Amino acid sequence: MNVDFQMTPIGEMGVGEEGGRIVRLFFVFEKKKWLDSISETDSVQIKRTAILNRAAQQLEEYFQGKRRHFDLPLAPHGTDFQRSVWNALLTVEYGTTATYQEIAEKIDNKNAARAVGGACHCNPIALVVPCHRIIGTNRKLTGFAAGLDKKQWLLQLEQKHRLTKIPIEK
């Protein structure tokens, strides 16, 4: 896996890719835990590849309010259930929220709201797979690996830019 790190308005983030697909996007406070979990047989290089350059550019555009959708090849590692949740998260529009229950219903498993929360917690590609847009049934902020302050900041960023027009490049 190739990994690169970049500073963002909410702190340093790492992005990992394997075979030209993004497999990880994580907050640096997870870095030691993540590095400790890598086995000696895993090949990890800290270097920037073409896809990591593209991810860095898109993250920068997102934080500037210029990007609402990421256009990156993704290959998150997880169970079939987790991947179904993560795919459902990709349908939650920029600047909006959905509840864990709504995601459970979207994946045709209406009794799985708690399991959806677990899958959100295990989301290996934060921001790009927007688990920060998922809230409690009571419409309050709940759970976010980076902390509720960052979740609130991201939602406010999206609300601020949601209705502004993005200029068309000439």
Catalytic residue among 131, 134, 135, 157: 131
Helix ranges restricted to H, the chain: 31-37, 50-63, 80-89, 100-106, 113-121, 148-162
Give the whole-angstrom CA distance, residue 28 versus residue 13.
5
> Half-sphere exposure of residue 30, counting CA atoms within 13 Å on the CB side?
21
Residue 169 CA to its chain's centroid (Å): 26
Strand partners, 14: 5, 26
> Counting every residue, how long is the chain?
170
Q: Are 115 and 61 in contact (CB under 8 A)?
A: no
Of 106, 55, 58, 67, give the one whose Cα is nearest residue 85. 106
Give the whole-angstrom CA distance, residue 114 versus residue 131.
14
Block residue for tokens 């990994």: 3
Q: Check if 120 is active-site.
A: no
- Residues annotated as part of the active site: 131
